[in-house]
Amino acid sequence: MRSTVMYGAGDVRVENLPDPKLEQPTDALVRVVRACVCGSDLHPYHSMPAAEQGTQMGHEFIGVVEEVGSEVSLISRGDFVIAPFAYFDNTCEFCREGLTTSCEHGGFFSTAQSEAVRVPLADGTLVKAPVGDDSALLPSLLTLSDVLITGHHAAVMGQVGPGTSVTVIGDGAVGLLAVLAAKRLGAEQIVLMGRHQARTNLGREFGATDVVAERGEEGIAKVLELTGGKGTRAVLECVGYMNAYEMAIGTVRSGGIISRVGVPQYEEAPIGMGSLFGRNVRLAGGPGAQRSYIEELLPDVLEGRIEPGKVFDRTVALDATPEGYTAMDERTALKVLVRP
Amino acid sequence: MRSTVMYGAGDVRVENLPDPKLEQPTDALVRVVRACVCGSDLHPYHSMPAAEQGTQMGHEFIGVVEEVGSEVSLISRGDFVIAPFAYFDNTCEFCREGLTTSCEHGGFFSTAQSEAVRVPLADGTLVKAPVGDDSALLPSLLTLSDVLITGHHAAVMGQVGPGTSVTVIGDGAVGLLAVLAAKRLGAEQIVLMGRHQARTNLGREFGATDVVAERGEEGIAKVLELTGGKGTRAVLECVGYMNAYEMAIGTVRSGGIISRVGVPQYEEAPIGMGSLFGRNVRLAGGPGAQRSYIEELLPDVLEGRIEPGKVFDRTVALDATPEGYTAMDERTALKVLVRP
């Protein structure tokens, strides 16, 4: 099959690799109908050391089941399925609590920019959707694989509910869908911090009430101005860089929550008296591939109440995936959909 | 009046200072019946630069109202009152939410190891208690000024409830009362990390189900052994040093909460993929002088259902307060009560 392989920073190729096969009786094989390039794929695209042995890429996909192992009972050949970016058994102690990214037998997908993917723990992982592989809803369904559930996780961990004031930091796909998720959960004021107008316009369409294009201290001052000098109860940090975290500290209300879903590109950061502790600011977030999120959001997608697929502004064939990386890196595309 | 003044590390004196007077119509003057020395007073006791101008000390006291300003209506001369370690109006936006330490007009007491204290915003701050100034309950009532409400804040911010598994880091007065608070809120397993046996014995009396005397990696390993390898849902960090925070990261369950009430003696600390983010661990806590906590806990103290005053293992006269600092610093006393 054709599959996307990275050999180092800036070096993405599409190659012929052996077809995946069932390895465990709990596996399924899924033909990929749509995949995409993630903002987090850009981190290795910037920093991966060059290597002779390449690394397969991609963790977001929807597709059709081609084959299932002998112990798979909930999923059958021909089913259209959504795969979250992690796989999990959905039966262990952590999964039962909904924290599927901490599944005791789970892991993360890493070969999704391909024609086919082997899915471990298929019964736990895959969520069926009643659509055909030519559905107009494919882009929106694909966001349930990562960017929408991640934005939703940010809002849930930020305890966003009716009337909450929210700042969303970042106008990438996750930030924009965090806006949509916050709006869907009833947030009243949603301040989107981002400076790419086409993106922030989509953010307004998704529910942002205010847009702040400034960054750093200037951006913080603008948010405080919009919130009576107090900041917002929830700050959804959808970037992962230290300057975004610093803006989160500056814009969060005393007693509020900074909810992070951008993969942190730092390990240490301020959390002491002058940043979090003195004002009882809480910190939450992490990878959010909860199966329950897909189950909760899927009806809204199927019935057209939300259109998260609008974040895709370019589509490439699988063989052109490297161009997708370039476009996202150069910010000429917000989010690139890949069609095998 | 006699008052405790610190002139630098290790240099605590008791001196004659002018009596406090009403300054605002919302003030009250309180004659101090009992005060005490706080673990957090030991930080300046270790590090304050020597100065010619001393600094008055103390933020925990109970007493009898001697005089009130013209705008004070809820508190009268002769009332026995508990003062939390912060003062607040109890009417601003933050106070109405219960976050009295972020009161828009508030501040923190800093002259309580004295014969009398001026209390700003007396109606908001002071909580009356129906006892005389010779009550046997004075030590327990005094813990409502700081150490009990701080331990309770740790438990509340850690979302401790029926059945929760909890690790408490630190066997100081706050740690022991965090054990009591966690037990009171229904925690099932309470692992106390501390190595002073007299203190951990009191911790067992307050509700600890397990005691771990080891520290660092060895202590973490013991807690994991006691919790099926997973750690506890809540970790109440009642120390404030970096090694305590590191133990919190090691003992918290995936998806759990580290709740800090020990004043952090660091500003930066690990919060990235390898510490909090990857496992969706949350961070909470801060100063917890909520008036609502006193109101909630006071009946349990008055009716003898809890005896938090057991943390006091030495009493000194006001003029001997410096000996109290020495005893706590040398760990020959757990918590020193000061009797003016």
Place of tokens 């009532």: B141
Whether B55 and B178 share a structural domain: no
Among B110, B109, B84, smallest CA distance to B98 is for B84
Q: Do B269 and A272 touch (CB under 8 A)?
A: yes
Q: Do B280 and A101 touch (CB under 8 A)?
A: yes
Q: Taking the CB of residue A224, how many other CB atoms lie within 10 A of it?
A: 16
Domain boundary among B258, B285, B312: B285
Whether B275 and B296 share a structural domain: no
Q: Do B286 and A272 touch (CB under 8 A)?
A: no
Tell me chain A's radius of gyration from C-alpha atoms.
20
Whether B155 and B193 share a structural domain: yes
Q: Which two tokens stand for residue B296?
A: 């909630």
Domain boundary among B285, B307, B323: B285
Average pLDDT, chain A: 97
Q: Do B268 and A273 touch (CB under 8 A)?
A: no
> Residue B249 — pLDDT band, cuts 50, 70, 90?
very high
CA torsion sign for B128, B130, B132, B137 is negative
**Which one-letter DSSP state was computed for residue B53?**
S
CATH of the domain at B204: 3.40.50.720
Angle at B164 between CA B158 and CA B168, to 5 degrees: 55
Q: What value does the mean pLDDT take over residues A269-274? A: 97
Q: Using CB atoms within 10 A of its CB, is residue A130 exposed (0-12), middle (13-18) or buried (19+)?
A: exposed
Whether A97 and A55 share a structural domain: yes
Q: Which two tokens stand for residue A176?
A: 């924009």
Whether A156 and A263 share a structural domain: yes
Long-range pairs for B207-215: beta carbons < 8 A, 24 or more residues apart? B207/B179, B207/B180, B207/B182, B207/B183, B208/B168, B208/B179, B215/B243, B215/B247
Among B303, B249, B301, smallest CA distance to B279 is for B249
Whether A12 and A142 share a structural domain: yes
Q: What is the pLDDT of residue A276?
A: 98
Range of the domain at A279: 148-285
Whether B131 and B17 share a structural domain: yes
CATH of the domain at A90: 3.90.180.10
Percent of chain B with pLDDT over 70: 100
Which residues are paired to A114 by β-bridges?
A3
Q: Taking the CB of residue B280, how many other CB atoms lie within 10 A of it?
A: 21
Q: Which two tokens stand for residue A214?
A: 């400034």
Model confidence over A164-223: pLDDT tens digits? Answer: 999 999 999 999 999 999 999 999 999 999 999 999 999 999 999 999 999 999 999 999
Under a CB-based contact definition with an 8 Å cutoff, are residues B212 and B185 in contact? Answer: no
Query: How many inter-chain contacts (A to B, CB under 8 Å) are there?
Result: 109
Q: Using CB atoms within 10 A of its CB, is residue A74 exposed (0-12), middle (13-18) or buried (19+)?
A: middle
Whether A104 and A212 share a structural domain: no
Domain boundary among A246, A270, A285: A285
SS3 B216: helix
Chain B residues lying within 8 Å of A288, measured CB to CB: 280
Among B172, B236, B198, smallest CA distance to B38 is for B172
Q: Taking the CB of residue A132, how many other CB atoms lie within 10 A of it?
A: 11
State the alpha helices, DSSP H only, in B56-146. 93-96, 122-125, 138-143
Q: What value does the mean pLDDT take over residues A20-31? A: 98
**Which one-letter DSSP state was computed for residue B295?**
H
ipTM: 0.96
Tell me chain B's radius of gyration from C-alpha atoms.
20
Whether A158 and A267 share a structural domain: yes
> Residue A277 — pLDDT band, cuts 50, 70, 90?
very high
Minimum Cα–Cα distance from A272: chain B residue: B267
Place of tokens 């006892």: B131
Q: Which of B260, B282, B292 to mutate to test binding with chain A, by most A CBs within 10 Å of its CB?
A: B282
Percent of chain A with pLDDT over 90: 99
Which residues have CB under 8 Å from A76's CB, separation 6+? A65, A68
Q: Do A269 and B266 touch (CB under 8 A)?
A: no
> Residue B297 — pLDDT band, cuts 50, 70, 90?
very high
Q: What is the pLDDT of residue A48?
A: 96
Under a CB-based contact definition with an 8 Å cutoff, are residues B324 and B315 in contact? Answer: no
Which residues have CB under 8 Å from A297's CB, separation 6+? A144, A148, A149, A152, A306
Q: What is the pLDDT of residue A285?
A: 98
C-alpha A168/C-alpha A166 separation (Å) is: 6
| Number of domains making up chain B | 2
Whether B11 and B141 share a structural domain: yes
Among A292, A294, A288, smallest CA distance to A263 is for A288
Whether B174 and B300 share a structural domain: no
| Chain B: closest CA distance from residue A95 (Å) | 11
Model confidence over B258-283: pLDDT tens digits? Answer: 999 999 999 999 999 999 999 999 99
Whether B14 and B141 share a structural domain: yes
Model confidence over B102-142: pLDDT tens digits? Answer: 999 999 999 999 999 999 999 999 999 999 999 999 999 99
Q: Taking the CB of residue A147, how many other CB atoms lie within 10 A of it?
A: 29
